Amino acid sequence: MEEKNVKSYLEALAEELNGNFTEYSDDTVILTVPLEDGRFQSIRGLIAEREAGLMLIFTSTICRLHEFPNVDFKRMLELNYELGYSKITITDEDYLELMTSIKYKLANAEEIRYMITEIAQTADKLELEITGEDIH
C-alpha cells in the first residue's frame, strides 16, 4: 500500500465514520472519530522509521498522568494483554496513551480499520473511566 493510498484510505475511512481527517504534516494525520453518546476520540497517524523498519503508527491520548496520579498501572498492563493491536504507553511528555502499529508494507485496509476502531473505542473508554470527561 503506497503512502498516498494510506492517506486516501484514512480520509475515506474518516468520512465513512462521520469523522474528520486533518493532514497535520507531511508524515502525520489526525482522525477525529465519533463514538457513542456524542463522544469523540482523536487519533494521530504517522509513518515512521523504527527499529523494526518502516511502521504505520496510530496513537490516541487518554490523559496527562500528573493530572490523574491514581491511574492503576497494574490494570493498564493487564489490559495490554487483552487488546488486539493496541498497547498502553507513557510518553516523554507525561501522557498516558494508547498506541498501535504495524509494519507499513504489511498494512491493509481491513487491518487499518480494525486498528482505528480498537484504538478509538479503547482510548475513549479509558479516558472516561480515568478523567470522567471527553478531553481528547
Please indicate, yes or no, if residue 16 is contained in any of the structural domains.
yes
Q: How far apart are CA 66 and CA 111, in angstroms?
A: 33
Residue 130: which pLDDT band, with cuts at 50, 70 and 90?
very high
CATH code, domain carrying 58: 3.30.1460.10
Whether 4 shows a pLDDT value over 60: the answer reads: no
Whether 1 shows a pLDDT value over 70: the answer reads: no
Please indicate, yes or no, if residue 30 is contained in any of the structural domains.
yes
Please indicate, yes or no, if residue 136 is contained in any of the structural domains.
no
Please indicate, yes or no, if residue 26 is contained in any of the structural domains.
yes
Q: What tens digit of pLDDT does each residue of 48-70 get?
A: 899 989 999 999 999 999 999 99
The tally of domains found in the chain comes to: 1
Q: Residue 8's domain spans which residues?
A: 3-131
The end-to-end CA distance of the chain, in Å, is 29
Query: Using alpha carbons only, what angle is made at residue 78 by residues 101 and 92, rounded to the nearest 5 degrees?
Result: 55
